[in-house]
Amino acid sequence: MFTYQLIEKEHEIVVLCEGDIDIDAGDVIEEDIQPVLSLHNRIVFDFEKVYFVDSSGIGLIIRLVSDLQEAGKAVRIEKIRPEVTEVFELLQIDEILGKQVFE
C-alpha cells in the first residue's frame, strides 16, 4: 500500500511518501502525484517511510524523476532508508538520475 501527502513550502513542494513502491503504486504516482507536481519547480520526495522498492517501483521512480527533470524541475529524494539505499546502489540510481538528486 502506497500513500502520500503533499506539503507546500515557500520555495518547494515536499511529497511525503509512505509504504511500498511497487507495481501497485503506479496509478497513484502517474495519475495523482505527477500532475500536481507539474505546477512546482523544486520538488522533494521524502522517503523516510518507504520501506520497500521492487524492480517495478524502481522503473516508476526513474520515469517520474526523469520526466520532472526533463520539464526543467529540480528534484531531490531525501531520507532514504538503508534497505532501500541498497537497492538504489545496486542499480546505480544516482548514475541514472544524477547525483544531485540525492544530495
Kindly state the cell numbers that stand for 66.
526523469
Q: How far is the CB of 34 from other proteins (least distance, A)?
A: 12
C-alpha to C-alpha distance for 59 and 65, rounded to whole angstroms: 10
Q: CB of 1: closest distance to other proteins in angstroms?
A: 17
Nearer to other proteins, 9 or 51 (CB): 51
Q: Which is nearer to other proteins, 1 or 11 (CB)?
A: 1
Residues engaged in binding other proteins (CB under 8 A): 23, 55-56, 58-60, 62-63, 82-83, 86-87, 90-92, 95-96
CB contact at 8 A, 50 and 80: yes
The candidate with the shortest Cα–Cα distance to 17, out of 34, 37, 3, is 3
